[in-house]
Homo-oligomer: A and B are copies of this chain.
Amino acid sequence: MSIRLGVVGAGIASRELHLPALMELKDLFTITAVNSRTRKKAEEFADLVGGKIKVFDSYEEILYSDDVDAIVLAVPIALNPEMIVAARTAEKPVICEKPIAASVKEGLSLLNLPGNSPVYIAENYRHIEVYTKASEFVREGRIGKPIIFSWLKWVDFGLDNKYVQTKWRQAPKHVGGFISDGGVHDIAALRKILGNVREVSGFSEKNLDYLGAENSVVFNMALGDGVIGNYSVVYGAPASLNRLEIVGTEGLLRVDKDEATIEIEAHGREKFYANNSDGFVEEFTDFYRVIKGQKNSLGSIREAILDLATVEAGLISANEKRVVIVDSLIVES
């Protein structure tokens, strides 16, 4: 029997990212209810989904509705923690968009939740094939022992971009605006491929006011075991790029996210073409399995906190001009 979902937040993520995936997963999930900031937006979403969908005026109503088995949270980042707590209190499984919270400090409160119902943080990059494969290639030793990496990301978000147009992104309550909003994705992938980041030191600049916060950063990262690297990002660039290059003792590996390709140069060249799935189908499928009792390894609160802590360490480093140890941010109260 399919799980009946109550969708909270009818913004870009619900409409354009989740809905297409859920349409493909009709055997697993049925959207039965929606709540959004305005009733109009919720009704429009209900129309988009089609079928019999209840429109609720409050989050509480949807949480305690008998028509809802599980919750999909796609709300402004700063609201995530309190809404996760509420879902847990209502004993409803919840899948929540990333980043987990507006800051690590707020995310940490989620390590000690009441109840037992599953909390799944929706980090689709942990499900994207190009990164899953890159992780496998590195672990198989295809480039020997990793030495140094470089992740270069240019994002061509102009004033008219739909995410830039989001009110809560224009005056972000979450650290670093787009840098954390987008950055947790990349760090999730980086950690999957090369392991956890131990220390970060960074510089940041704010060149474009319309992006709400820092829009360019360079973060050096030390991962332990001799691996260092750099994550450089600019939002509001005139062109787009998302390229991770890893140099190992035996070869190099280049991942192009936009092209979904992995090039390996080691004792010859090869190129792997990944599927260009954005990972949402895989993510919701994993959420389904977690609801059914499987261990939550890809959507755990701890993983999501580590992603955010790595980005926040860079932002703090840039502000305070010091090296920041990622673990130092994750001190449970």
Contact = CB atoms under 8 A, between A and B. Distances in A.
Contacts of A150: 150, 152, 230, 232
Contact of A230 (B220, B237, B238, B245): B220
A226 B219 CA distance: 16
A202 interface: yes
Interface stretch (A13-21, A64-72, A247-255): A247-255
Contacts of A237: 147, 247, 252
Contacts of A321: 201, 322-323
Contacts of A227: 205
B218 A220 contact: yes
What band does the interface of chain A fall in when counting residues whose beta carbon is under 8 Å from B? 35 or more
A222 B203 contact: yes
A48 interface: no
A159 to B, nearest CB: 13
Interface in A195-211: 199, 201-205, 207
A216 interface: yes
A265 interface: yes
Interface string A218-245: 1111100011111010100111000001
Q: How many copies does the complex hold?
A: 2
Contacts of A238: 143-144, 247-252, 265-266
A59 interface: no
Nearest to A219: B220
B147 A216 contact: yes
Contact of A202 (B205, B220, B251): B220
A154 interface: yes
Nearest to A143: B238
Contacts of A202: 201, 220
Contact of A239 (B199, B217, B252): B252
Contacts of A204: 228
A3 interface: no
Contact of A234 (B147, B222, B250, B265): B147
Contacts of A205: 147-148, 226-228
A321 B198 CA distance: 13
Contact of A201 (B216, B220, B239): B220
Interface string A306-333: 0000000000010001110000000000
A234 B218 contact: no
Interface string A122-134: 0000000000000
A143 B237 CA distance: 11
A222 B217 CA distance: 10
11 contacts: A147-B234, A148-B216, A150-B150, A201-B201, A203-B220, A207-B226, A207-B249, A219-B220, A234-B247, A238-B249, A321-B323
Given A144-B238, A150-B150, A152-B245, 11 more contacts: A148-B205, A150-B230, A154-B252, A201-B202, A203-B220, A218-B228, A230-B230, A230-B232, A237-B247, A238-B248, A239-B251
Top 4 nearest A-B pairs by Cβ distance? A218-B230, A218-B220, A203-B228, A230-B230
